[in-house]
Structure 1
Amino acid sequence: MRLEMKKIGEFYKEKVLILSVNQLKSVELPDKNGKVNIVKDLFGWKLISGKNIMECSSEEEARYLKVFIEIGLKNVMLPKDHKYLMAILQDLEKLKLKTDEIIESYLQTVFDESIKEKVRNEVYMEIVK
């Protein structure tokens, strides 16, 4: 199956949930509140969603978690192995970008932003199953 055709949920099951429990860390995610930003400061990497600030151990961890915050998940499993995380991150981000493009192509004729956001959230909840 080509990457673009795969659901994010399938990718997550095949690449993340196949790892053993001691290779994963459960992370509680903040609510998506507007644009999600990644910021580097003197103390490391931060993921910012509205007023919520989440400390991250690396840029890659922040990028990985950002994908799932933007989708609207509340909890996600994070691979502890940084090299493995780096190996899967680019494919995850490409899959998310392709999914966003497909969703947006269908929402071009919807002008109400609240309706667009509601539809986006419902679609994402379906594709992460």
Structure 2
Amino acid sequence: MEKLRCQVCGKVATDPATGRTPWIMTDTAFREIPGDSTGGLTSAPPTCWACVPEALATCPQLRVSSTVCTVARAEPAAVLADMFMPGPGRRAVPTGEYSVEVSLNDEALLPYALATQLIVQVHDLQPADQG
């Protein structure tokens, strides 16, 4: 996701003509940030224009809720992680907490997190003109 590669084909998703990256947002993988009307957080990777029709046609979740948008930029913001605590003999012991959102700035929790998904903050989110 940091390299903005398409979740379907793996090629760079950013449109060279506009410099913007197409992104399919869903209710389950997108969250608005209070006070930020043009951005948000998502755990879903981008999708290049060539793969958007295939993704929309074949992914059941996208049929439930999806909006095709473009973003000006995206940056790592957090991870979804399984949490651990130090145990005997330097072993990590699971706490039983799974899919916990941990900010990349959280110096207290991050050392105890085993990341399972990256969450990025998208900026200048706009509805896509699919004309």
Query: If the TM-score is normalised by the length of the shorter chain, which range does it land in?
Result: under 0.3
Normalising by the residue count of structure 2, what TM-score does the alignment of the two structures yield?
Answer: 0.27
Higher helix share: 1
Normalising by the residue count of structure 1, what TM-score does the alignment of the two structures yield?
Answer: 0.27
Structure whose alpha-carbon radius of gyration is higher: 2
Higher strand share: 2
